[in-house]
Chains A and B, each alone.
Chain A
Amino acid sequence: MRPHGRDELDSLYFDYPRYFAPKLSKEKKEKSIDVVIVGAGPIGLTAALTLERYGISSVVIEAKNTFNDGSRAICIARQSFHIFDTLDVVKQFNAKALGWTKGRSFYRGKQILEFEMPDNENQKYRPMYNLEQQYIEKFLHDEVIKKPKIDMRWQSKLENIEIGNDTATLQITDPHNSYNLKAKWVLAADGANSTIRKLLNLRLNGENFEGRYIIADVKMKHDYPTIRRALFDPDSRRDGTVLIHKQPDDIWRIDYQITEAENTEDAIKEETVRSSIKAVLKDIEFSGDWQLEWWSNYSANTLALDNYRHGSVFFIGDSAHIVPIFGVRGLNNGLADAQNIGWKLAYLLNEKANKNLLESYNSERRGATMDVFANATKSTRFMTPPSYGWLTMRDAALSLALRHKFAGALANPRQMEPYSYAKSSITMPDDENFGSGPKPGTVIENVFFDGKFLSDILDKGFNILWFGEEPKEYDLEKYPNLICFESKSKIGKLYGASQNSSYLIRPDMHIVGRWYKTNLSEVLATFKNLLNGKQL
């Protein structure tokens, strides 16, 4: 919502562009396509750019005429920056976003905990960045319009969909006309209120939590570093919790819990929001001018589809899963969904992989959601204790944390690490001869060496790290990019390698498998099995 007298798109810091539906030729309208992406949010645009990277064309349809004003993600995790890096857009993100590594928790005004997220010289990107969602979409869209293979159609509304196993017909209406779009595959990136989900009669299942929040953006010149602050039981909100994040353009995100005594209807009124924010600002000792940019209400849910695939339709992002904000996984998991299905579909459409490979999308990405759910219950119980028992224990932990480190650990928000695909059918069991190094299923550990990062020298397809002599003959056309190191190199040591050790890495930087002592033909056989969708 916007303050009285200001239009929905009347922002204090962002100029919303307006886009139009393309005038399509008859030929273009009737042309069958490989992939149609429904929704031009961050997830849909990332999917389109991922496909484009492997030479796959797509049509993106979006009902609105501009960037999102509903969903308001702000936290972008390290691995998402790596995704943007592979899509050649990370420069814009780096220039605008605010990187951060620290969080501080306060209990009744006293700082009880400062946590530090893992970061070191081997990391190309910071553990977390804050950036308003409008910029996230703008930077991706700026890249999309440079790509002839991506056909971006604004103001194009999905009216109906008929699906088969690998075919779909979408009925689209735009201001010029109504037409049927035929595609092999559909990516449903149409958000929490997904039209496709409704048209296919699919439901999200899961839990709703007790806590209700107001989520607001405020513009103010506040001198405080980019550190996430959590205020438990502050003067402004007795029995409530407040979260504060810095964003670019002097915008501050303030999330505060609506207490038991308040009803949502009153809490969401502009005057109530203003006085609540005023009290929070007093808590953080800010006395300057501020302007209210936007606000909304929110309550924590863990909801997901039972299956992320329905015939030719793959659900990616919020259309497939709704997670609580505290774990900062909504946007980040959505981006990982887009990348995951993106490379798999591209390998299939480029006739390099068989359809079985697609089966791993649901198990890997739904697994990632279930992992968030497991942690979300814990963090949500801490942020908004659902009963007297949880509140008593939470307050006891917070009170003890002032002097005892162990109690602070109970208050530590579980910050995200990328989910491990260790249990995926296309991940190998670990080779137990390794004493260290990243395990199969996890994202590679980045390494800084010779003035560059390991992630910089990875090819967009599969990569083999080979710790041994460079082979005399190697068919780069057919096989993964081969990167050779000495086992005694910095990478060799960090990866626990011996002579003739090897790691096979997927296009999304997750490790397929590793061998302590092997030969290249064994690694290549695994690569072929994976593309055939065989259990590894």
Chain B
Amino acid sequence: MTDPEMEEIYESLATKIDAVGQEKSDIFLAKLALLLSKKFTDLEEVMKCIEEASLDLEN
């Protein structure tokens, strides 16, 4: 994915989170994570992504 493509994804996610609303945004993002995971063939890679996404969340 190129930088401009990543930017397009970023923008469309922001718009969609606003469209589904703050309350439903968790479930929306969880569904998206499952859909994207299904595109992978390697379980290890998805597990690694899950681990990485959980880092640096502390305030």
Contacts and interface: CB of A to CB of B under 8 A. Distances in A.
The reply to whether chain A is a binding partner of chain B is: yes
Interface string B15-35: 111110010010000000000
B25 A410 contact: no
B57 A399 contact: yes
Given A388-B25, A390-B14, A403 B56 contact: yes
B13 A388 contact: no
A378 to B, nearest CB: 8
A397 B15 CA distance: 15
Contacts of A389: 13-19, 25
A402 interface: yes
B45 interface: no
A521 interface: no
B6 interface: yes
Q: Which interface residue of B18, B53, B55, B57 has the most chain A CB atoms within 10 A? A: B18
A104 B24 CA distance: 34
Contacts of A399: 56-57
B8 to A, nearest CB: 11
A392 interface: yes
A108 to B, nearest CB: 7
A393 interface: yes
Nearest to B29: A392
A330 to B, nearest CB: 24
A200 interface: no
Nearest to B16: A389
Contacts of A224: none
A506 B3 CA distance: 34
B7 A387 contact: no
Contacts of B18: 387-390
B10 to A, nearest CB: 6
Contacts of A387: 14, 18
A388 B25 CA distance: 10
B41 interface: no
Given A390-B14, A393-B17, A403 B52 contact: yes
B3 A392 contact: no
B25 A108 contact: no
Nearest to B25: A392
Given A406-B6, A410-B6, A393 B59 contact: no
A391 to B, nearest CB: 9
Q: Which interface residue of B3, B15, B16, B17 has the most chain A CB atoms within 10 A? A: B17
B22 to A, nearest CB: 5
Contacts of A388: 17-18, 22, 25
A386 B7 CA distance: 17
A409 interface: yes
Contacts of A404: 52
Contacts of B25: 388-389, 392
Given A389-B15, A399-B57, A410 B22 contact: no
Nearest to A238: B59
Contact of A402 (B3, B17, B19, B56): B56
Given A389-B25, A392-B17, A393-B13, A410 B7 contact: yes
Contacts of A393: 10, 13-14, 17
Contacts of B57: 399
A409 B22 CA distance: 26
B7 A392 contact: no
Interface of B: 1, 3, 6-7, 10, 13-19, 22, 25, 52-53, 55-57, 59
Nearest 3 pairs of A and B residues by beta carbon: A389-B17, A389-B18, A393-B14
Given A378-B7, A400-B53, 6 more contacts: A387-B18, A388-B17, A389-B13, A389-B16, A392-B14, A393-B13
27 contacts: A108-B59, A378-B7, A381-B14, A385-B14, A388-B18, A388-B22, A388-B25, A389-B17, A389-B18, A389-B25, A390-B14, A390-B18, A392-B17, A393-B10, A393-B13, A393-B17, A394-B14, A397-B10, A399-B57, A400-B53, A403-B52, A403-B55, A403-B56, A404-B52, A406-B3, A406-B6, A409-B6
